[in-house]
């Protein structure tokens, strides 16, 4: 999102400049530290990230070019009460997402009820006919979900996006906390913060409970993480999670179908995989079913999947829940499947496929943020307030040519939290991606999540691919 002069909610300071209760303990500790020492610790933290290899690739740049994600050492702090409300809203939304996906691939009651237009499915490339009538092992579609939230006021949290396909960033959440604890161990004795280190073990346990019928009776289902390889922007995370879970990190060349199971090559021969945490998009998952040129998937894996020989997480076809046109119906979706009013709000959204909405968006392009319905990572967007007349004119042509491919949203006044600068603390805009695990036994939400921060003064761009950074997210203990 663009630079803005809109007045924003400051999460640390109130209108009179007083420190809010959530930051009181931290601010007291901060003011007792030497600025030079803090600056040195910030550089030490950067060295830790560099030595550890916590990097990502930016598409469109030279192949193999890696960047460090800038890390800011001032934590973003959420109170226990705020987190309780957020957790209830996230739990409700994730329950609705799974029920929605099951319904879409079975009876489509929501379409029959007139709550969702059929055309959103019929024309949607993320909807997979191969999943129709099939229920994944354990009945779980979205095993790992990342819900992007923004805050605009004391009690105003809104969902910006649902990441139900392959949400990234949890490794940065974990490394941020570990680095903070290494740099400032005494701080954690003064401020009680809910831990996040359990996530990899919780992920492994959650995935294991979704083992396929072929693994029934096994005490320890075999888990593996499927990565596209070292040039993928999130390769570090794939390797990190496999290592932390005690699972194998595999690429397409390591896998083949043997005797009706998907197996990985080992020093002792081929070994069957029970649960595959894939970080490969649907279209590349199986060259026999989808893209025949794919070198990233496994030939025949969809047949094995449908016959109960393997669990794929997240389930193929869950990407339709990430569709931004579908997102605009989430309030109706939540109410339809839970029977409850949504706890978390949506950002107001114009669906450009609708004539009235398109006319409004075309008339107000300089004021709006326009996104592709299948876009992610900040790519393919128009940020009206900071775009040139030429950029807006070019985007208008694309919008008129294919309006179904776009939605538009108002420019929000995201909340700010402090970052560390040479001149002291300074406010910057942030969002938040909590991470959610879903198993047949329930929903597990890790306290906090990944806070992404716009490092440039006034900027609302938080995406790491667009120059944003990250910071540790604290949920205070009760």
Q: pLDDT, tens digit, for every residue of 356-396?
A: 999 999 999 999 999 888 766 556 788 888 788 999 999 89
Q: Is 308 exposed, middle or buried (0-12, 13-18, 19+ CB in 10 A)?
A: middle
pLDDT value at residue 435 = 97
Weakest-pLDDT range from 59-63, 276-280, 304-308, 390-394:
59-63
Distance CA 434, CA 148 (A): 7
pLDDT value at residue 58 = 53
Phi first, then psi: give them for residue 32, nearest 5 degrees.
-90, -5
* 349 has a pLDDT exceeding 50: yes
pLDDT value at residue 5 = 47
Q: Tens digit of pLDDT for each residue in 122-146?
A: 878 899 999 999 999 999 999 999 9
Q: Are 395 and 381 in contact (CB under 8 A)?
A: no
pLDDT value at residue 1 = 43
How big is the chain by its Cα radius of gyration, in Å?
22
Diameter over CA atoms, the chain: 70
Strands 424-433 and 450-453: antiparallel
Q: Tens digit of pLDDT for each residue in 163-216?
A: 998 898 999 999 999 999 999 999 999 999 999 999 999 999 999 999 999 998
| CA nearest neighbour of 259 among 267, 270, 249 | 270
* 48 has a pLDDT exceeding 90: no
Distance CA 174, CA 301 (A): 31
| CA nearest neighbour of 319 among 450, 170, 141, 58 | 141
Q: Tens digit of pLDDT for each residue in 50-105?
A: 777 666 555 454 444 566 788 999 999 999 999 999 999 999 999 999 999 999 99
What is residue 421's three-state secondary structure? strand
pLDDT value at residue 49 = 82
């Amino acid at each position: 999102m663009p630079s803005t002069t809109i007045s924003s909610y400051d999460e640390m300071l109130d209108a009179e400049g007083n420190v809010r209760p959530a930051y009181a303990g931290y601010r007291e500790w901060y003011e007792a530290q030497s600025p030079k020492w803090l600056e040195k610790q910030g550089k030490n933290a950067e060295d830790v990230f560099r030595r550890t290899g916590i990097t990502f690739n930016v598409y469109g740049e030279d192949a193999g070019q890696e960047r460090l994600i800038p890390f800011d050492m001032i934590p973003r702090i959420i109170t226990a009460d705020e987190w309780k409300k957020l957790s209830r809203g996230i739990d409700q939304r994730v329950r609705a997402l799974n029920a929605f996906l099951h319904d879409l691939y079975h009876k489509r009651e929501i379409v029959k009820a007139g709550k969702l237009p059929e055309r959103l499915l019929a024309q949607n490339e993320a909807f997979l006919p191969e999943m129709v009538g099939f229920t994944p092992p354990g009945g779980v579609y979205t095993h790992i979900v990342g819900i992007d939230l923004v805050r605009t006021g004391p009690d105003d949290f809104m969902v910006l996006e649902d990441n139900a396909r392959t949400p990234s960033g949890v490794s940065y959440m974990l490394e941020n906390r570990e680095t903070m604890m290494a740099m400032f161990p005494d701080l954690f004795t003064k401020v009680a913060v809910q831990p996040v280190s359990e996530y990899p073990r919780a992920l492994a346990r959650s995935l294991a409970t979704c083992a396929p019928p072929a693994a029934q009776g096994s005490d320890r289902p075999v888990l593996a993480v499927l990565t596209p390889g070292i040039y993928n922007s999130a390769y570090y995370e794939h390797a990190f999670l496999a290592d932390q879970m005690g699972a194998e990190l595999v690429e397409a060349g390591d896998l083949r179908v043997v005797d009706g199971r998907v197996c990985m090559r080992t020093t002792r021969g081929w070994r069957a995989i029970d649960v595959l945490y894939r970080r490969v998009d649907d279209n590349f998952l199986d060259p026999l079913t989808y893209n025949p040129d794919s070198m990233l998937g496994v030939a025949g894996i969809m047949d094995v999947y449908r016959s109960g020989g393997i669990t794929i997480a997240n389930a193929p076809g869950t990407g339709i829940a990430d569709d931004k046109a579908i997102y605009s119906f989430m309030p109706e979706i939540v109410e339809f499947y839970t029977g409850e009013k949504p706890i978390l709000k949506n950002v107001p959204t114009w669906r450009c496929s609708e004539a009235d909405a398109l006319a409004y968006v075309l008339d107000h392009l300089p004021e709006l943020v326009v996104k592709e319905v299948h876009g992610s990572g900040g790519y393919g967007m128009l940020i009206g307030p900071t775009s040139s007349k030429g950029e807006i004119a070019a985007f208008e042509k694309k919008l008129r040519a294919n309006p179904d491919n776009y939605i538009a949203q108002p420019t929000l006044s995201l909340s700010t939290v402090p970052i560390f600068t040479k001149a002291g603390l300074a406010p910057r805009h942030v969002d938040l991606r909590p991470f959610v695990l879903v198993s047949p036994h329930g929903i597990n939400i890790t306290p906090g999540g990944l806070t992404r921060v716009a490092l440039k003064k006034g900027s609302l761009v938080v995406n790491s691919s667009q120059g944003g950074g990250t910071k540790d997210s604290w949920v205070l203990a009760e």
